[in-house]
Amino acid sequence: MKRMEWSENLALGIALIDEQHKTWIGHLNDVSTALSSAQGPTQIAKTLSFLIDYTGYHFDSEEQYMTKHGYPGLEQHREKHAELRQTLTDLQTDFDDEGATGPLAKAVDTFLGNWLVQHIQDVDQEFGTFLKERGIELK
Q: Which residues bind Fe ion (CB under 5 A)?
A: 62, 124
* DSSP letters spanning 50-115: HHHHHHHHHHHHHHHHHHHTT-TTHHHHHHHHHHHHHHHHHHHHHHHHH-S-HHHHHIIIIIIHHH
Q: For residues 30 and 124, which CB has a smaller minimum distance to Fe ion in the complex? A: 124
CB atoms within 10 A of CB 15: 12
Q: For residues 109 and 124, which CB has a smaller minimum distance to Fe ion in the complex? A: 124
Alpha carbon 107 to chain centroid, angstroms: 13
Distance CA 51, CA 72 (A): 28
Cβ at position 87, least distance to Fe ion in Å: 14
Cβ at position 6, least distance to Fe ion in Å: 15
Q: For residues 98 and 122, which CB has a smaller minimum distance to Fe ion in the complex? A: 122
Cβ at position 124, least distance to Fe ion in Å: 5
Q: For residues 94 and 126, which CB has a smaller minimum distance to Fe ion in the complex? A: 126
Cβ at position 88, least distance to Fe ion in Å: 14
